[in-house]
Amino acid sequence: MTERIVLAYSGGLDTSVAIGWIGEATGAEVIAVAVDVGQGGESLEDIRQRALGCGAVEAYVADARDEFANEYAMPTLKANALYQGHYPLVSAISRPVIVKHLVKAAREFGATTVAHGCTGKGNDQVRFEVGIQTLGPDLKCIAPVRDLALTRDKAIVYAESHNLPIETTKKNPYSIDQNVWGRAVETGYLEDIWNAPTKDIYDYTATPEFPPAPDEVIISFHQGVPVAIDGVKVTPLQAIQELNRRAGAQGVGRIDVVEDRLVGIKSREIYEAPGAMALITAHKHLEDITIEREQARFKATVGQRWAELVYDGQWFSPLKRSLDAFIEDTQQHVSGDIRMTLHGGQAIVNGRRSETSLYDFDLATYDTGDTFDQSQAKGFIELWGMSSKVASQRDQRVQGL
């Protein structure tokens, strides 16, 4: 039986050429796998037909938008995950769901190898291959761009000489990856980190310098998940899409950062994540009133480690699974409403309410009705500072010898 290889297929030039390129280089049949995670553009049927027209023996397509929002974006939201304090893991969380479907297709069509279009310089090669070897330990991995020397110039020549049903153009100066959680742009003149991004880079967000009138929105959560916007029930996918639209119109969610890649280099990245950043902001403010202090402090540390694991391609790791359990436990009381104003590139919270809030007005107020017993404060301070006081006395005694 002829060997079969599953290829992560985007519908673009490189992966379209890779179908025939892989076949010629390995003698295997290629099954193209396209997964919709809200990246927009062409329909799955158009992509499927192009894959077949480029020589794939089978084409597996999946509408994974709700799956992506529910099972990947929502855990990211619950963790308030921002890699290095900036990046909401736009590409990093899409790779595991694609891997899941690649392995599923490999089983369905009897493939022995999975192929992806990553280079040897980025993070995604790690995310794909670690995920594949975790879910399908018996499967092999190849990367045509990295392993078979498939360059952009070679891809254009190949497509034209084989009359493939794909547009061939000169290399776009940018490398772009996008899904419903956000959009990532890199390379080109952005590699000079002194160069400011130009307006043509952005697509999900309008320029914040000339915003429309302020947009006030109320986001309702149940156990850490958005369930309504302005009183209208929404699914997680609908919540992200609606805030992409409204926060994006105000220029919210633009991120320009130099980040530490897993392969050991620093890379300049431009991100747009209006819905993600608005939701994370709202979610964090709701946690501020519903999660106990020590639990909240520790959760911040867990969220940072969670983001690092996911960025590093460890979505399916035992540690990430254990951190998921802790984070999920913290969300049992994260229910309520957050009111925020979207304007001029900012999402500013100006109201919060929750039936499970730990905020006690009578304890917090300085007016009549205050139930806080201030007489207890003096003794508390004495005990709280006791260890430091004793250590200081020791230090002064020793220094005086």
Residue 9 in marked binding region: yes
Q: How far is CA 387 from the centre of its chain?
A: 43
| 72 in a labelled binding site | no
- Annotated ligand binding at 271? The verdict is yes
Check the annotation: does 312 bind a ligand. no
Residue 175 marked as a ligand binder: yes
Residue 339 marked in a binding site: no
Nearest CA among 176, 167, 171, 178 for reference residue 50: 167
Residue 182 CA to residue 274 CA, distance in Å, equals 7
Q: Is 336 annotated as a binding residue?
A: no
| CB atoms inside a 10 Å sphere around CB 12 | 17
Residue whose pair of structure tokens reads 């673009």 in the numeric block: 12
Whether residue 363 contacts residue 371, with contact meaning beta carbons closer than 8 Å, is answered with yes
Consult the annotation and say whether 388 binds a ligand: no
Whole-angstrom distance, CA of residue 183 vs CA of residue 359: 36
CA distance 382 to 19: 73
Degrees to nearest 5, angle at CA 69 with 337 and 278? 40
Residue 14 marked ligand-binding: yes
Alpha-helical segments (H) within 250-369: 274-290, 293-311, 318-330, 361-364
134 is in an annotated binding site: no
200 is in an annotated binding site: no
139 touches 114 (CB < 8 A): yes
Task: Supply the residues annotated as catalytic.
Answer: 14, 95, 124, 175
DSSP secondary structure letter of residue 265: -
Cα(308)–Cα(268) distance, integer angstroms: 17
Known binding residue 13? Answer is yes
Residue 83 is assigned to a ligand binding site: no
Numbered residues of the known binding site for L-citrulline: 87, 123, 127, 175, 259, 271
Binding residues for L-aspartate: 119, 123-124
**Which residues fall in the annotated binding site?**
8-16, 87, 117, 119, 123-124, 127, 175, 259, 271
